[in-house]
Structure 1
């Protein structure tokens, strides 16, 4: 294990706190004390985790609208989600489904953490979420009113419901969280960027941060926008449509939902008697791929190394990798090569539970992080459903067939977003000593 100090390179969180003498000092890693999952695999955390361990795919024909005219007709939808049962009625009319999912996930995360926001200093609670598509469905309906009728038909809430920061704002207002608030718009990588930002906020004075992300772009307008990337799978068999790292990989399926996490200062969590801790945020880094034709390759391997350096870990100390797993052959090949470069060929178990849900964009990496924390809690690596085996030349130990029990002290979550975003997050078991802590 490398020696980690606060003067070591810090690719993700920015400057470390300093003592009165101006010397950087070690700080405790923030802890995750609450999870709120609203995903295709389950509208609550327990159901999601059970589905993941059972390998129960949630991919199926889209029912939120008629997908018949479109080449992609399959997706992951949150089952049985009724906004009226989990969101105040006035907010349902003012916000998009993506925000409904986020509000429900935040409420669940707070309950799981045993937090009563009204009992905590309002300016020491922050909110930072990830968003990709914003309020797509709400925006579609208002555009229909505009084009089919006139501007007078467009509702006043269009001005805020579509906005990327709407979910952050509504969570902040509903729970009186008046500390630093923000939103990261980095497509699939945004969920890790939001969690990385939550660590920065804790290190600069926040005691509690609601973070993560959700997405809900399953509407005609949203699907049409996604089709423009050329990366979605048009296979009509749900069992064969999304096969990352497989020789038959031909794209991915979209999905909706995500996860919100309660991240707390470790000392503050202990002082309030937090019910439980899922894990620690040990390291984070982000990168951006150079443009095609530049002659430079992807930076994912460098991003992963930077996250490990930030965590004070050697590659051999990572126990499992939750892969980005785009399902596009060129992207899969690049990710497999990056992992083999950093860890060695087949040197660390790799898994991609997102084959059960589809890619959730702003909510996807946050859900992966939540799933990784559950894996650390239960000492079990969930398997990847769908692929038969890694394609020839992919030097990764892809966990297939069934969950793999294993002692887990650390987990790496990798995410990439359309256009070149990439991020890496290192999570640690709550009872394992974190490098560099006093």
Structure 2
């Protein structure tokens, strides 16, 4: 099932009364494999952005990316699955394993039809598809893998995770570019509120191959800087595009009452969400991002002053950055809330970015720290309190995560930390 927000009206999760809490997380990021490793690197301001090494990028105008390094697929994925799966699915399978282990759950913790999975995808299995198309045109159809029939598909991560862990409850995929990660978590939250006790959710993307990079370059919004410290600069006066990345996060969501009954550790709670759609470019009508922010706050039953910090989308382009800063200023006031974009350490991970930001928000609330937006130096023209340089101590138990996808998708999600969940 492929779903996407289609109107500018905020969408809230009003059905049901069950609360959805996060009891497990699995992270693969360019600056850290594993949730705590990622978090420690992020607080140190450690960037994973560098020149692409998975292939020779010399002939491309954009040569930097956030690559996941040190991941040995055969250490984490059963050997029979390796030839069936693209890198993005291998990430998703590993992340799901870790998210369930972090939650203290096993495959038989619940009946199969009481556990489900909803993930997001922006690119599908690009690298697998490129390789098999090369076999088709360079050799003949007999050399094309039978697994090509599904390994490239956007829904394959949900499918493979559901098979591996026998998840026979609600299953789906959201395809809304960078916003998809929040949309998937929101859909999982809906299923929890409607009676499904356990959902795996989040997103992973991995399109750092020649075919994938060419597709991203064609959009005209990648940075062509050769300097990793100056390539991706959201809200900076020198912003000129973003750096792509790979990875993301998978989360275990549970019914709060059930999680409490089994004595689970809780990372936090998903308390608010809204999605809007922007008007056609050139229409003269304003963005609906502000409406998404206000909708998420309303869904959470919170006021702007209750938000300890914001993880912004941070497009790294002058106009989208202006629109996002304007929306934040309209809701919180000039400099009214600390804002950060830790994606400057990983690149934009597309469907994996927002779930990773959710983990960052939950850990930030846990530890009372907002990680920095590294490399950004000059934010002239934006009335936001951007956290730069070093982590900043904060107090409060709620954070806002924003994500925007190409084509007009806006999503906003509010989380509470472990102390308030």
* TM-score normalized with structure 1 length: 0.93
Q: 1:291: which partner in 2?
A: 280
Matched, 1:312 2:311: no
Q: 1:5: which partner in 2?
A: none
Match of 2:335 among 321, 346, 357: 346
Cα displacement string for residues 92-111 of structure 1 (whole angstroms, at most 9, x for unaligned residues): 10010000001011111111
Deviation at 1:28, TM superposition (A): 4.6
Cα displacement string for residues 107-142 of structure 1 (whole angstroms, at most 9, x for unaligned residues): 111111101121211111110001000000000001
Q: Does the 8 Å CA contact 2:26/2:34 hold for their aligned counterparts?
A: yes
CA distance in 1, matches of 2:141, 2:405: 35
Matched, 1:398 2:386: yes
Q: Does the 8 Å CA contact 2:231/2:241 hold for their aligned counterparts?
A: yes
Deviates more, 1:289-298 or 1:123-132: 289-298
CA distance in 2, matches of 1:298, 1:421: 10
Matched, 1:88 2:78: yes
Match of 1:135 among 125, 129, 148: 125
Structure 2 unaligned spans of 5+: 1-8
Structure 1 unaligned spans of 5+: 1-9, 18-26, 434-438
Match of 1:208 among 198, 216, 219: 198
Q: Does the 8 Å CA contact 1:36/1:44 hold for their aligned counterparts?
A: yes
Q: 1:7: which partner in 2?
A: none
CA distance in 2, matches of 1:281, 1:366: 12
CA distance in 1, matches of 2:318, 2:109: 50
Q: 1:145: which partner in 2?
A: 135
Q: 2:24: which partner in 1?
A: 34
Q: 1:407: which partner in 2?
A: 395
Q: Does the 8 Å CA contact 2:67/2:245 hold for their aligned counterparts?
A: yes
CA distance in 1, matches of 2:241, 2:293: 24
Q: 1:280: which partner in 2?
A: 269
Deviation at 1:315, TM superposition (A): 1.1
Q: Does the 8 Å CA contact 2:118/2:199 hold for their aligned counterparts?
A: yes
Q: Does the 8 Å CA contact 1:13/1:197 hold for their aligned counterparts?
A: no
* TM-score normalized with structure 2 length: 0.96
Deviation at 1:179, TM superposition (A): 0.3
Q: What secondary structure sits across from 1:90 in the alignment?
A: coil
Matched, 1:12 2:11: yes
Cα displacement string for residues 300-342 of structure 1 (whole angstroms, at most 9, x for unaligned residues): 0011101111111111111100000010111111110110011
Q: What secondary structure sits across from 2:285 in the alignment?
A: coil
Q: 1:237: which partner in 2?
A: 227
Q: Does the 8 Å CA contact 1:146/1:153 hold for their aligned counterparts?
A: yes
Cα displacement string for residues 206-261 of structure 1 (whole angstroms, at most 9, x for unaligned residues): 10110000000000000000011110000000010011100111110000000000
Q: What secondary structure sits across from 2:81 in the alignment?
A: helix
Match of 2:209 among 181, 194, 219: 219
- Give the RMSD, CA atoms, in angstroms: 1.1
Q: Does the 8 Å CA contact 2:13/2:186 hold for their aligned counterparts?
A: no
Match of 1:374 among 338, 363, 383: 363
Q: Does the 8 Å CA contact 1:78/1:257 hold for their aligned counterparts?
A: yes
Q: What secondary structure sits across from 1:16 in the alignment?
A: coil
Q: What secondary structure sits across from 1:119 in the alignment?
A: coil
Q: 2:352: which partner in 1?
A: 363
